[in-house]
Amino acid sequence: MAIDIGQAVSADAARGPASQDTGVLELEVVQLRKESDRVLSVVLADPGRRLLPAWTPGAHIDLWLPEQTRQYSLCGDPAERREYRVAVLREETSRGGSSYVHDALRPGELVEVGGPRNNFPLVETAEYLFVAGGIGITPLLPMMAAAGEDWRLLYGGRTRASMAFADRLAADSRVQICPQDTHGILDLAAALGKPRPGLAVYCCGPEPLIAAMEAACAQWPAGTLHVERFSAAAIDTSGDEAFDVVAQRSGTRLTVPAGESALDVLEAAGIDVPNACRDGICGSCETRVLSGLPEHRDTFTDSTVTDRVMPCVSRALTPELVLDV
């Protein structure tokens, strides 16, 4: 049963971009639609129907919900500049974000939105394999539309009824839909085939699927696999040591103890760093490094990157980090 409430976004709406002076947009909920038994899609638009900031496949936005900030992948059409579409899974152990969207959010309400940001960009290559687990299908939808002809999708979920957008996707012969209750776990080895250059693998889903895909691609050429996690991977913090962080703009030097994050220490000193997830998965707190070597612990920054850091989770490989804050 579809919930399709609210007004459509008009193609004749007022022209001009929505304001993003503060980095946060105030957008109106214009449509809610039930996409599976536990997934609700949400369409957001500027109240004046102005153009929204552009985005590319793989991007996400932050929804600033009451006492919660949550990140959701954009799953609509990047060419449609007057709306953002996300899909929200009702989590079995919701901390308030998904239950609020499903039970309280309604068309006509205004929501603060951060982004869009893209930590999961689509690379250009000859062939693509997309692998989705459950709600992990969302960032892959615009990727498939942009990938040309040579792509395949392996899509798993608990049951067919739980898999958002499955009916629409099933009409494409390049799509293999595998509910676990009827097909078992995904056969990643069969989907991959033999290691070869020119294939990009994009995987999004729960941690067991990500771990299985990382193991399956271990012998493939470097850079083959691209993943996006729902949450940060577990980190061994037993060997953490204190380091200093220098806020260059104010000339303030602070010590980051082993059990605290640089973001927490900076905020306690009154130094503002924009942030949303505080788990190293969204990129909202990205800060320029002026000197020192960061130890990256977010889910997407390569270890060779030295000019930026996510202070919500990352630490230092040198006694101090000088940050552009």
pLDDT digits (tens, 9 = 90+) for 141-195: 999 999 999 999 999 999 999 999 999 999 999 999 999 999 999 999 999 999 9
Residue ranges making up the domain that contains 313: 243-323
User: How confident is the model over 193-212, as pLDDT tens digits?
Assistant: 999 999 999 999 999 999 99
Residue reference for tokens 């061994």: 236
Give 291's strand partners: 322
* Domain-ending residue, one of 55, 81, 116: 116
* Domain-ending residue, one of 64, 85, 116: 116
Mean of pLDDT values over 118-137: 96
Supply the pLDDT for residue 139: 98
Q: Check which CATH number belongs to the domain holding 45 and give it.
A: 2.40.30.10
Q: Does 251 or 57 have the greater pLDDT score? A: 57
Q: Of the given ranges (12-21, 157-166, 210-219), which has the lowest mean pLDDT?
A: 12-21
For residue 257, how many other CB atoms are within 10 A of its CB? 12
Supply the pLDDT for residue 9: 32
pTM of the model: 0.81
* Domain-ending residue, one of 116, 148, 174: 116
Residue at 257 is within a domain: yes
For residue 136, how many other CB atoms are within 10 A of its CB? 26
